[in-house]
Amino acid sequence: MTRVTDHRLEIPEAVKREVRVRCGFGCVHCGAPAYHYDHIQGIAVTGHEPDAITLLCPNIHNEKSVGRVTVRQVEAWNADPINKRRGQSAPHQLYFDDPNFFVEVGTLRFTLAARGGERIKAISVDGGIVLGFRVSDGGVLFDLNVRDADNR
């Protein structure tokens, strides 16, 4: 079912997932994992066609909205997303004011209380951290190690 949000039709979840995978889960220009969905030519032109939607960080999305980034530039970045080239996304600061927090992964919920410098292994495989956290300089650092079937 398609919902109306802010006078526009919401992008279907299946389309969002296709776009996220194609774009490498981040802004196609800088790799930031915090992004907006951008209809490159405009929603009125393409609707929710997955190949006509890309991911842009809030800064680049704003630059495009005010005309300082061109559609042609976005199309070029979309054709070769930086995260796909690098194999990883750009770092992104997470803001917390308490070292006590919880993480939900699917139906699992981890409640954690971290002390400065301590590394918490939320999920580990063969002793290696798959999902972990640590507190450093008042911030929570997030570690994630995802591998394919060939352990790459």
pLDDT tens track for 86-138: 988 888 877 767 767 777 878 888 776 666 667 778 788 888 888 887 777 76
Task: Find out whether 117 and 135 touch, Cβ atoms under 8 Å.
Answer: yes
SS3 60: helix
Cα separation, 118 vs 19, in Å, equals 36
Tens digit of each residue's pLDDT (9 = 90 or more) over 33-90: 999 999 999 988 888 999 999 999 999 999 999 999 999 999 999 999 999 999 888 8
Helix, strand, coil % over all residues of the chain, rounded to 5: 25, 30, 45
Cα separation, 38 vs 82, in Å, equals 16
Name the pLDDT band for 3 (thresholds 50, 70, 90).
Answer: very low
**Residue 2 burial (CB < 10 Å; 0-12/13-18/19+)?**
exposed
